[in-house]
A and B are shown apart, each in its own frame.
Chain A
Amino acid sequence: MAEALRQPVEECEPTLIGVFGVVLEALPEGALWWDHERLLVVADLHLEKGSAFARRGQMLPPYDTAETLARLARLVERFEPRGVIALGDSFHDGGGAARLTPRDRLALSVLQARRDWLWIAGNHDHDRPSGLAGAHMDALAVGPLTFRHQPGPAPAPGEVAGHLHPSARVIGRGKSVRRRCFAGDGHRLVLPAFGAYAGGLDVLAAAFAGLFAAATFRAFMLGDDRVYPVGRRALAR
């Protein structure tokens, strides 16, 4: 009952995803909420991607970090998680943390205060982000679930990962709609990229081959205010 009261009235029914017997809530913002553990999970923030591009001559608007952190802050405010897990590639490159503006650095530290914060190592940011709070690990097991950056090639029941930036496309009513999505089959779940400048890779692309059992595979596509589970058959390439 208390759970129901906490949700704003206008909100739709949540989309729940089962992973190896654990019930998780997929949020339309592209994050994962584990209510039982009060954990908020996000993947591929790619903070400071804008400045990483600027360094090489493409002056992308320098507001991506502020935007990504603001989106994350809205979720942290709403759920008041006990802990936050960032599933790797939290920074676009190794020097990213050092390039944070003072303002973004402050916004991040406000998010981290009063809760556990875990940076999982990614391929873009393998080392611990310099000068920032939070623990740093390659992987973390919580109950039956294992959180890591890159989904492994072998079957891994209970694995929750990022790295692949899944997106999916459906066609209907004469138009084509592409959205970021969670990709899962009940055993393993891959989160969408959360970062404002992080692109998407189609779940039907070769990089996803062999990760999921075809019969139970679902793309959980991010709608405006809810998440839509879509079967393989309805997806277009």
Chain B
Amino acid sequence: MAAGRLRAVVCTSTLDLGVDWGDVDLVIHVGAPKGASRLAQRIGRANHRLDEPSEALLVPANRFEVLECRAALDANYLGAQDTPPIRPGALDALAQHLLGMACAGPFDAGVLYREVVSAYPYRDLDRATFDRVVDFVATGGYALKTYERFAKIRRGKDGLWRISHPRVAQQYRLNVGTIIEEPLLNVRVARNRGHGFFGRGGRVLGKIEEYFIEGLAPGDTFLFAGLILSFEGIHENEVIATRTHDDTPKIPLYAGGKFPLSTYLAAGVRAMLADEKKWKVLPGQVADWLRIQKVRSVLPKVDQLLVETFPRGHRFYMVAYPFEGRLAHQTLGMLLTRRLERARLRPTGFVATDYSLAVWGLADLGQAFARGKPSLAQLFDEDMLGDDLEAWMAESYLLKRMFRSCALISGLIEKRHPGAEKSGRQVTISSDLVYDVLNKHEPDHVLMQATWADAAGGLLDIARLGAMLARIRGRIIHRRLDRISPLAVPVMLEIGKEAVAGGEADDHVLREAADDLVREAMGDG
């Protein structure tokens, strides 16, 4: 690209920052910008020279994204910045840094503490927590002190901490880094030789996240590298697939890089919805969409939360429009389904977008809210961030996923161990098993603390959810509709595209697999 040999580059957000190619003529931005500053950075890739304007073409993918693009352009016009605030420094990264410092040479804990707190994200780190992290690096920092003799770093008579063996430095170098890759598998196209046998040869098309493949059953089709493939199975660390034809292959999802809509843009979108005068600048179909919404349901005012309920198919839906970003909505969805379950409204799933949240179930949600069983005020009460949140998090796979990356970054679990090199698919021990034991026996361990802090800030966006619940208190409007509203269409389209979270317990899946065996035994498979 820098040499000018490529006509175009298709990229993810990886090229947002730090790329200085002078001769990019145009940025084509597909989808929603998620933040005004982010959009400015992206557009700035074009004509990356001080004296020339940058040019970009925005391609919003649905009607809400049109509003979001508009809000981002207005923000850029005003010069508003909405870069997210810097989060407090993570303890798992600190643990890795401390071990790295010890590998470089002996350190004095007091001197190093002063150096660490001079870094902005760690400015509020207290000495006691710092010392707990030192202890963690040395022996795991457990209440039960049984690993003293295996310590990785030790404090000498001179008061300095140093590594106990050169091997520690060797292991550190093998595992250094704070980017935790999702486990990947090669995709190989094989020829079907019949009877479930596949040729050994065939092209490797590239790598795909194991997480996506885990959800496929043999015979499922998916789109990869421009081809429609049929999933046949996994052999060692390769996905075996065959070419096929299908109109509705699954589209691989990648777990990384889902930034939530910035609070600044969310406020802009809410303001645009509430003020008809602002619709003039919108494309005709988008303005019409809002006008029909006004007739069929209602458009919420800036500080209101609109909740619509309606039946569709054999299910009853509730769609809420908080505009707080996908992460906060997912958390809200988990907590709401718990509450609806307790109210015996039999929720069976939910899906979240950056703008809205749809929950569905088997009981008439609209009727229940109208009768106050429960009322929407009770359902959306801030007290959901207490016990409900705690109980859900403790059993959530999200926390386990977060623990895995904390365990790898902090050095508790090593990706690579000399002499025990595994295929990229697995670390040396399952972090889920370690999580279960630690959560039960020492739930206030420093690494659990790090995991909760990471999850609350990153994956769950609790602060934002809390601010939203406070904002809408006493300002929830409910519309009972006989059918889907125009505003609900974008989130309803997501159903089926996204994995449905919540509702179904793992044991249901096991029971159905066991029932399948009964059917097979009865001869009607």
Contacts and interface: CB of A to CB of B under 8 A. Distances in A.
Contact of B437 (A196, A231, A236): A196
Interface string A185-224: 0000000000011110000000000000000001001011
Q: Interface size class for chain A?
A: 35 or more
A17 to B, nearest CB: 13
Contacts, number: 148
Nearest to B418: A56
Contact of B513 (A61, A66, A172): A172
A177 B509 contact: yes
B275 interface: no
B252 to A, nearest CB: 15
Contacts of A59: 136, 139-142, 147, 150, 152, 412
A173 interface: yes
A175 B412 CA distance: 29
B249 interface: no
Nearest to A60: B434
Interface stretch (B58-66, B461-469, B500-508): B500-508
Interface string B426-463: 00111001101110111001000000000000000000
A57 interface: yes
Contacts of A170: 509-510, 512-513
B214 interface: yes
Nearest to A67: B437
Interface in B465-524: 499-500, 504-514, 516-517, 520
A60 B517 contact: no
Contact of A233 (B428, B505, B520): B520
Contact of A101 (B140, B146, B434, B440): B146
Interface of B: 136, 139-142, 144, 146-147, 150, 152, 167-168, 171, 214-218, 233-234, 412-414, 417, 428-430, 433-434, 436-438, 440-442, 445, 499-500, 504-514, 516-517, 520, 525
30 contacts: A49-B429, A51-B147, A53-B428, A56-B417, A58-B414, A59-B141, A60-B434, A61-B142, A62-B146, A172-B508, A173-B500, A173-B508, A173-B509, A175-B504, A175-B506, A176-B214, A179-B510, A196-B437, A197-B437, A199-B429, A199-B430, A221-B513, A223-B507, A224-B506, A224-B507, A228-B511, A228-B514, A231-B517, A236-B217, A237-B218
Given A197-B430, A231-B520, 18 more contacts: A55-B150, A59-B136, A59-B141, A59-B147, A60-B412, A61-B140, A67-B440, A173-B512, A175-B504, A179-B506, A196-B433, A196-B437, A197-B434, A228-B510, A229-B517, A230-B516, A235-B513, A236-B217
Interface of A: 49, 51, 53-64, 66-67, 101, 169-177, 179, 196-199, 218, 221, 223-224, 228-231, 233-237
The 8 closest A-B pairs by CB, nearest first: A59-B140, A63-B441, A228-B514, A172-B509, A170-B513, A231-B517, A234-B513, A228-B510
